[in-house]
Amino acid sequence: MGPPKTLVVLGSGPVGLLAALRGRRLGMDVEVCANSLALPRDPPRVERVPAQVVALLVEFGVSPNRIGVDMLFRRQTMQWAGGAVAASPAPDAAHIERPALEIALLELALRAGVKIDVPAGNVVQELRRRHREGECLFLDATGRSAVTAIQRIRPRRPLVARLFHLPVRTSLRDSDLMIAAGPEGYAYRLANATTLTLGVVGRKDFVQGDGREIVAKIAEFAAWLVRDIPTQHIRPGGSGAAGAQWSIGDSCESVLVGDASFARDALASQGLAIGLSDALKALAHPIKGVGAQARSNQRKEIPGHCRRIIQEIKGSAFVSARPWVEYSEFLSALADLAGDTAGHHAPASPFLLGQPWRAARAADRIPA
C-alpha cells in the first residue's frame, strides 16, 4: 500500500497548520478540523524560538514582520540561584508573536487549498477508522489536550504559567530574554516589535492576582525585571500548564505531533520549534511505521529533557519549595518511565498514577 493521498489534521495551531501546508506541497488533499480558530482580538503573547524557525516560516511564506520579528536577540539576563543578576550570550533567537503566527499560517493554508472544517459533532472515531484502514494520514496536533491519546502522563498538581501583555514602547523595545527565580517560582519577560509579554510560573499564591499585583510580587525578588513596566497598561493574557507531559497514543489510529506527543517544560523554550519540526517529520514518511519512529525518538529525548529541567531547578532559588520538589520527583519518574517503556502504554502502577502523578485518558473531543 502506498502513502495515503489525504491528510487530516486535528487542531489549528502552528504545528497543525504547518503540517497542512506541507501536505499540500506534497500534493495531498488536506483537511484541518478544529472547534475554533485564532482571531486578531485574542490576547497576544510573545514566544522565543531559534532563529532557524524564522527561516523555516519564511520558506512557507510567513513574513517576519507579520509575526512581530524585525531583529534577532543574542543575550539573556538571569537572576537564578541568588540575588546576582548576570547577562550572558545566547544563541540567535527571534521573538514570535501569537496569535499572529496562527493567523498568518491559516491564511496561507486557505490559499493553498486546505479545507478548514469546524465540525458540529464528534469526528474523532471516524478519523481513527480512516487512518487505521489507510484512507488518510490522521495527525493529532491538539497540543496538551492530546485528544487521541490513550494516556496522558502529567503532574497531578500542575505548575501554572500566567501571561500578561502590554504594547511595546521605545524604552521596552530591546528586551532580550529576562528571567528571575523567586522563592516559589520564576518570572520572565520577552518583547518584540509590537508586544511585551510578562510571565510567571509556579503554583497558588505566586501566580494569583491581577497585573499590578503580579508586578508587585515580582518586584519583591527581582525589581530590575519590572521597574520600567507601566502597570496601568498591563493586560491579562492566557494561562495554562507549564510542566512536562507525555501523551501515549496508538499509531494504528493516529499520529501525535508536537505538544500532543510530548509537551516540554516551559523553561526549555523549545516547544514551538520542536513541534514544527515534528510536523514536517510526520510527513517525511507518511506511511505505516511513522509512529514507531516517533516513539524511538522519545526514548532518547524525554529522559534528557527531564534531567535538564531537574538541573535547572536544583540551581534555582525555589529548589526547596514544595511544588518544585514534587515536580522534580515527577520528572525523575517520567525520565525513568520513558527510558524503560517508550513505545508502550504506561503501566498502571500506584506509583505512577497516585500522587503526585496521574495518567488520564483523553476524551474523544476536539478542543477549542
Q: Are residues 151 and 164 in the same domain?
A: no
pLDDT at 173: 72
Q: Are residues 37 and 119 in the same domain?
A: yes
pLDDT at 206: 95
pLDDT at 287: 52
- Indicate if the pLDDT at residue 51 is higher than 80: yes
Is 176 domain-assigned? yes
- Indicate if the pLDDT at residue 290 is higher than 80: no
The pLDDT tens digits of the residues spanning 339-366 come to 875 444 444 432 333 233 333 333 333 3
Is 65 domain-assigned? no
Q: Are residues 150 and 171 in the same domain?
A: no
* Set of cell numbers at residue 70: 524585525
Report the chain's mean pLDDT, rounded to a whole number. 87
Q: Are residues 184 and 276 in the same domain?
A: no
* Set of cell numbers at residue 242: 507549564
* Set of cell numbers at residue 299: 526514548
Q: Which domain holds residue 214?
A: 70-97+159-241
Tell me the CATH number at 250.
3.50.50.60
Q: Are residues 90 and 121 in the same domain?
A: no
- CB-CB contact of 241 with 160 (8 Å): yes
Is 18 domain-assigned? yes
Q: Is 221 helix (H, G, I), strand (E, B) or coil?
A: helix
Rounded CA-CA distance 103/44 in Å is: 12
Q: Are residues 195 and 84 in the same domain?
A: yes
Identity at 205, one-letter amino acid code: D
Q: Are residues 86 and 152 in the same domain?
A: no
Q: Are residues 27 and 163 in the same domain?
A: no
Q: Are residues 167 and 287 in the same domain?
A: no
Percentage of the chain modeled with pLDDT above 70? 88
The pLDDT tens digits of the residues spanning 130-181 come to 999 999 999 999 999 999 999 999 998 899 999 999 999 877 776 789 999 9
Last residue of a domain, which of 208, 241, 274?
Answer: 241
- Indicate if the pLDDT at residue 217 is higher than 80: yes
Rounded CA-CA distance 301/262 in Å is: 9
pLDDT at 365: 35
Q: Around Cβ 329, how many Cβ atoms within 10 Å?
A: 14
Is 317 domain-assigned? yes
Is 221 domain-assigned? yes
The pLDDT tens digits of the residues spanning 60-105 come to 999 999 999 999 999 999 999 878 999 999 999 999 999 999 999 9
pLDDT at 295: 58
Pick the closest to residue 106 from 19, 26, 44, 165 (CA basis). 19
With cut-offs at 50, 70 and 90, classify the pLDDT of residue 286: low
Q: How far is CA 208 from CA 82, 160, 203, 244, 363, in A?
A: 23, 10, 8, 21, 29
pLDDT at 36: 87
Rounded CA-CA distance 46/49 in Å is: 10
Q: Are residues 168 and 296 in the same domain?
A: no
Tell me the CATH number at 210.
3.30.9
Q: Are residues 188 and 77 in the same domain?
A: yes
pLDDT at 250: 86
Is 289 domain-assigned? yes
Q: Backbone phi, then psi, for 161, in 5-degree steps?
A: -105, 130
Q: Are residues 260 and 164 in the same domain?
A: no
Q: How many domains in the chain?
A: 2
pLDDT at 288: 46
Of 190-199, 218-227, 289-298, give the lowest mean pLDDT range: 289-298
Last residue of a domain, which of 241, 270, 298?
Answer: 241
Is 269 domain-assigned? yes
Last residue of a domain, which of 241, 258, 283?
Answer: 241
Is 59 domain-assigned? no
Pick the closest to residue 345 from 102, 53, 114, 149 (CA basis). 149
